[in-house]
Amino acid sequence: MTVTLQIPDFIAASLHLMDSGREQRVLEALALEGYRSGDLSRGQVGEMLGMDYWDTEAFLKQHGAGYGLSADDLEKDRQELEKMLAAA
């Protein structure tokens, strides 16, 4: 899919979009926002950016995009795991 955006030159310059590599920077920003909003999974980010698992992990960590799990989420996961192990 091709998307064309019209961005005023002064804004594009502020975002360093006048330089080479601008398409990659826009794609990375879109992937990060998609991940942070919960619209994209880690796997989708990697696929979108052509990265393997480890490169995707490093990219997300470098940009401060954590796992997005709360302490409550982790506690629920722990409880479910205990139930599954007890049933086994």
pLDDT computed for residue 40 by the predictor: 93
pLDDT of residue 30: 95
Distance CA 70, CA 76 (A): 10
Per-residue pLDDT reduced to its tens digit, 51-71: 999 999 999 999 988 776 667
Across the chain, which has 88 residues, the per-10-residue mean pLDDT values are 89 88 92 92 95 93 79 82 88
How far, in Å, CA of 72 to CA of 85, rounded?
20
What is the pTM (predicted TM-score) of this model? 0.69
- pLDDT given for residue 88 in this prediction: 74
Given this model, what pLDDT does residue 9 score? 92
Domain ranges for the chain: 9-87
